[in-house]
């Protein structure tokens, strides 16, 4: 009988969050970091995530309308399944939520999906817990079941809704308005500047101009496209009160009365708050957070300097860059090069053999694409305005679903870059 001589994994590289940041980091470490370490069998990569499924989050504005909008098996992908390709002991998935980080003792407490608890001592930690939206329709605020349950309740109410109000003129609010407008109202003909008497009037309430990260001419174009699908934009307006409380957040299908700053009210059969995100960092000591609640991350090295050795953050939970997928993807090779460097040093290699830190630099050029329904869109990439056709081609056709297959499977990270 042969005996298993593989030593039990001792050094846990724990990744919190199973989305763009977490799944990418895990693949990259398993492909390019661990194989280059001495005693590689002594490391184990662990993803802890509140959702066992990764999903193409940007697709939510269209996906929330119907399961027919996207192939569901492409939209949601099982995390444990895509990591079956690695040696058995090198990876472990934990379906659970991080509840307390004890950075001084390098330990993390987790509540598992069956409500039991677990504590893990980590050797390295990557915080990639992202951010939640006010509306539970727009991402994995809980697990995928929670998201689907909310979509089902919303769709039921949508079939009889007579008015919709969306708070927030950022890309999520505008995309959601465009998708719902086209789906319910259709699109005005070539020669009409707006859709007269839409079946369901949709109002976007925005505190400033819409799409603030894009130049005014592009935002203006978006307003014109929105008008063609029955969406009106109310600018320089702010919702001060929502009655009943919890409409749009605790319950996605509740009628609401919204009171604006000027005292006027709006009645909505459906109300969607799309007013930004909150970082999922409630389990982290406030000494490690910035004023806006993100993890205070070294913008060059992606280390969390105040947290002690080998603690890093990436994605929407971290402060190094603005929240966007393309910036996460450009951060992964830098993050993982620095993790590799730190692990080699911890394994006894000397400074001269491991080289310098790799440095991240945020690309701050105007880059954002905003589909408005299934055939139109506005946007810019690397500072250049894009025609509607290109926005459709790159993003509007399937909201990036063409990119997530390679990301979740790890093919995107086949080469060290
Ligand atoms: C509607 C919408 C549309 C968007 N469209 C675009 C776009 O077109 N282009 C673009 O570049 N960006 C877009 N973004 C932003 C983009 O989705 C985010 O930048 C990206 O999802 C961030 O990835 P992340 O890995 O940091 O975390 P997230 O995607 O936020 O995921 C976090 C993961 O961590 C888990 N988690 C949370 N808390 C815990 C915890 N305590 N313990 C364990 N696990 C936890 C969650 O369940 C989730 O799986 C959009 C965002 C939204 C909301």
Q: What is the pLDDT of residues 286-329, one digit of tens each?
A: 999 999 999 999 999 999 999 999 999 999 999 999 999 999 99
Count helices and strands (H / E) in the chain: 11, 21
140 domain residue, yes or no: no
Are 408 and 288 in the same domain? yes
382 domain residue, yes or no: no
- Whose alpha carbon is nearest atom 38 of ligand 1? 129
Q: How far is the CA of 322 from the centre of ligand 1 (A)?
A: 12
According to the model, what pLDDT value does residue 2 have? 43
Q: How far is the CA of 249 from the centre of ligand 1 (A)?
A: 18
Are 260 and 293 in the same domain? no
Ligand 1 cavity residues, CB under 6 Å: 16-22, 48-51, 57-58, 60-61, 97-98, 128-131, 133, 138-140, 172, 280, 283, 315-317, 323-326, 328
Q: Is the pLDDT of residue 25 over 70?
A: yes
Are 123 and 211 in the same domain? no
What is the separation of C-alpha 73 from the centre of its chain, rounded to a whole number of angstroms?
19
155 domain residue, yes or no: yes
- Whose alpha carbon is nearest atom 28 of ligand 1? 130
* 164-167, strands of its sheet edge to edge: 231-234, 202-205, 164-167, 270-273
Total structural domains in the chain? 2
The mean pLDDT of the chain is 96
Cα separation, 304 vs 294, in Å, equals 11
- Whose alpha carbon is nearest atom 20 of ligand 1? 325
Are 285 and 409 in the same domain? yes
Handedness of CA 116, 119, 120, 124 (dihedral sign): positive
Are 108 and 198 in the same domain? no
Task: Provide mean pLDDT across the span 161-187.
Answer: 98
Q: How far is the CA of 368 from the centre of ligand 1 (A)?
A: 16
Which structural domain, as residue segments, surrounds residue 239? 148-275
Q: How far is the CA of 71 from the centre of ligand 1 (A)?
A: 20
Are 294 and 407 in the same domain? yes
350 domain residue, yes or no: yes
Q: Are strands 91-102 and 265-268 parallel, antiparallel or unpaired?
A: unpaired
Cα separation, 15 vs 22, in Å, equals 6
Best residue for ligand 1 mutational test, from 14, 15, 16, 17 (most atoms within 8 Å of Cβ): 17
Q: If DSSP codes are grouped into helix, strand and coil, which group holds residue 341?
A: helix
Predicted confidence band at 7 (pLDDT cuts at 50, 70, 90)?
Answer: low
369 domain residue, yes or no: no
Q: How far is the CA of 110 from the centre of ligand 1 (A)?
A: 20
Burial status of residue 193 (CB atoms within 10 A of its CB: 0-12, 13-18, 19 or more): exposed
211 domain residue, yes or no: yes
According to the model, what pLDDT value does residue 250 have? 97
pLDDT tens figures, 40-91: 999 999 999 999 999 999 999 999 999 999 999 999 999 999 999 999 999 9
Determine which helix (DSSP H) or strand (DSSP E) holds 62, and give its type and residue range: helix 60-63
pLDDT tens figures, 341-384: 999 999 999 999 999 999 999 999 999 999 999 999 999 999 99
The CATH number linked to 73 is 3.50.50.60
23 domain residue, yes or no: yes
Are 212 and 270 in the same domain? yes
Which among 250, 243, 293 has a CA at the least distance from the CA of 265? 243
Q: How far is the CA of 80 from the centre of ligand 1 (A)?
A: 18
4 domain residue, yes or no: no
Q: Is the pLDDT of residue 34 over 90?
A: yes
Which among 232, 276, 321 has a CA at the least distance from the CA of 138? 276
Best residue for ligand 1 mutational test, from 14, 18, 19, 317 (most atoms within 8 Å of Cβ): 19
Q: How far is the CA of 129 from the centre of ligand 1 (A)?
A: 8
Q: Is the pLDDT of residue 125 over 60?
A: yes
Task: Provide mean pLDDT across the span 388-404.
Answer: 97
Find out whether 19 and 54 touch, Cβ atoms under 8 Å: yes
Atom of ligand 1 nearest to the CA of 16: 43
Residue where one domain finishes, among candidates 255, 275, 295: 275
Q: How far is the CA of 139 from the centre of ligand 1 (A)?
A: 7
Determine which helix (DSSP H) or strand (DSSP E) holds 146, and give its type and residue range: helix 144-158
Q: How far is the CA of 316 from the centre of ligand 1 (A)?
A: 6
- Whose alpha carbon is nearest atom 19 of ligand 1? 324
Are 248 and 188 in the same domain? yes
Best residue for ligand 1 mutational test, from 21, 65, 113, 129 (most atoms within 8 Å of Cβ): 129
Atom of ligand 1 nearest to the CA of 315: 26
Predicted confidence band at 37 (pLDDT cuts at 50, 70, 90)?
Answer: very high
According to the model, what pLDDT value does residue 1 have? 42
Atom of ligand 1 nearest to the CA of 283: 41
Cα separation, 171 vs 182, in Å, equals 16
- Whose alpha carbon is nearest atom 49 of ligand 1? 18
Are 271 and 285 in the same domain? no
Give 3-state DSSP helix, strand, coil % of the chain, rounded to 5.
35, 25, 40
Residue where one domain finishes, among candidates 228, 254, 275: 275
- Whose alpha carbon is nearest atom 50 of ligand 1? 58
Q: How many CB atoms are closer than 10 A to CB 29?
A: 27
Atom of ligand 1 nearest to the CA of 49: 44
According to the model, what pLDDT value does residue 10 have? 84
Task: Provide mean pLDDT across the span 227-255.
Answer: 97
- CA distance readout (Å), 217 to 177, 195, 269, 311, 356: 19, 21, 32, 42, 44
Q: Is the pLDDT of residue 170 over 60?
A: yes
- Whose alpha carbon is nearest atom 30 of ligand 1? 130
Are 153 and 256 in the same domain? yes
Are 270 and 284 in the same domain? no
Are 208 and 291 in the same domain? no
pLDDT tens figures, 183-232: 999 999 989 999 999 999 999 999 999 999 999 999 999 999 999 999 99
Return the percentage of the chain with pLDDT > 70, whole number.
Answer: 98
Cα separation, 165 vs 248, in Å, equals 10
Q: Which long-range contacts (CB under 8 A, 24 or more apart) does 81-88 make?
A: 82/23, 82/54, 82/408, 82/409, 82/410, 83/26, 83/30, 83/47, 85/410, 86/30
Task: Provide mean pLDDT across the span 7-11.
Answer: 70
Q: How far is the CA of 262 from the centre of ligand 1 (A)?
A: 34
Residue where one domain finishes, among candidates 208, 241, 275: 275
Cis peptide before 244 (omega within 30 of 0): yes
């Amino acid at each position: 009988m042969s005996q298993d001589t593989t030593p039990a994994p001792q050094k846990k590289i724990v990744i919190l969050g199973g989305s763009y940041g977490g799944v990418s980091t895990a693949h990259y470490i398993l492909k390019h970091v661990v194989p280059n370490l001495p005693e590689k069998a002594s490391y184990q990569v662990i993803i802890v995530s509140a959702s066992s499924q990764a999903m193409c989050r940007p697709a939510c504005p269209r996906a929330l309308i119907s399961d027919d909008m996207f192939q569901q098996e492409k939209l949601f992908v099982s995390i444990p399944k895509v990591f079956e390709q690695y040696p058995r002991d090198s990876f472990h998935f934990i379906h659970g939520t991080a509840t307390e980080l004890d950075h001084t003792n390098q330990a993390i407490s987790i509540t598992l999906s069956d409500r039991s608890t677990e504590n893990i001592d980590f050797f390295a930690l990557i915080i990639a817990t992202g951010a939640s939206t006010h509306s539970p329709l727009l991402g994995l605020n809980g697990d995928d079941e929670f998201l689907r349950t909310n979509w089902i309740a919303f769709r039921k109410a949508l079939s009889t809704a007579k008015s919709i109000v969306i708070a927030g003129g950022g890309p999520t609010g505008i995309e959601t308005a465009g998708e719902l407008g086209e789906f319910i109202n259709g699109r005005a003909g070539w020669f009409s500047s707006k859709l007269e008497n839409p079946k369901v009037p949709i109002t976007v309430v925005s505190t400033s101009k819409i799409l603030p990260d894009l130049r005014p001419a592009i935002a203006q174009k978006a307003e014109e496209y929105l008008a063609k699908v029955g969406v009106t934009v109310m600018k320089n307006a702010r919702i001060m009160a929502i009655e009943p409380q919890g409409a749009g957040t605790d319950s996605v299908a509740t009628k609401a009365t919204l009171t604006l700053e000027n005292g006027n009210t709006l009645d909505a059969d459906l109300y969607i708050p799309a007013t930004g995100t909150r970082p999922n960092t409630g389990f982290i000591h406030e000494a490690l957070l910035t004023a806006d609640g993100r993890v205070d991350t070294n913008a060059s090295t992606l280390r969390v300097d105040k947290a002690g050795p080998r603690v890093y953050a990436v994605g929407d939970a971290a402060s190094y860059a603005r929240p966007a997928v393309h910036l996460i993807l450009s951060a992964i090779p830098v993050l993982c090069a620095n993790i590799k460097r730190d692990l080699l040093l911890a394994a006894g290699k000397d400074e001269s053999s491991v080289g310098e830190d790799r440095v991240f630099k945020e690309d701050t050029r105007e880059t954002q694409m905003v589909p408005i329904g299934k055939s139109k869109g506005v946007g810019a990439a690397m500072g250049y305005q894009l025609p509607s056709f290109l926005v459709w081609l790159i993003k509007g056709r399937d909201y990036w679903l063409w990119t997530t297959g390679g990301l979740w499977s790890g093919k995107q990270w086949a080469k060290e870059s």
